[in-house]
Amino acid sequence: MKLREIIKEIPDDDWLEIIEQSSINYRSFIGRAPKKYIVGEVLDYEALYIGEVKKNKNYQNHRFLVEDKFIEHSGR
């Protein structure tokens, strides 16, 4: 399922932490920001794993492991 679909119900002020599964043994930290600032092609990445939600005083942090399916099929 695409990240865009999974995060629909998450409040805009909650934070998303996004990590990309680049290969079998390698992961890249894409970033951490409030949901309202997460835009662009990363929203079309496939979500491989949804981590547990960490709660802070004013917001929640949602963790996602994603994969860019375009890279897998294009041979880059």
Inside any domain, residue 75: no
Domain annotation covers residue 50: yes
Q: What is the pLDDT of residue 69?
A: 72
In a domain, 47, yes or no: yes
Among 40, 23, 59, 76, residue whose Cα is nearest residue 31: 40
Residue with tokens 């805009």: 12
User: How much is the average pLDDT of 11-20?
Assistant: 95
Phi, psi of 9 (to 5 degrees): -90, -5
Per-residue pLDDT tens over the stretch 42-61: 999 999 999 989 998 888 99
Domain with 16, as residue range(s), is: 3-69
Average pLDDT value over all residues in the chain: 88
Q: What's the domain count of the chain?
A: 1
Query: What is the predicted pLDDT for the residue at 56?
Result: 84
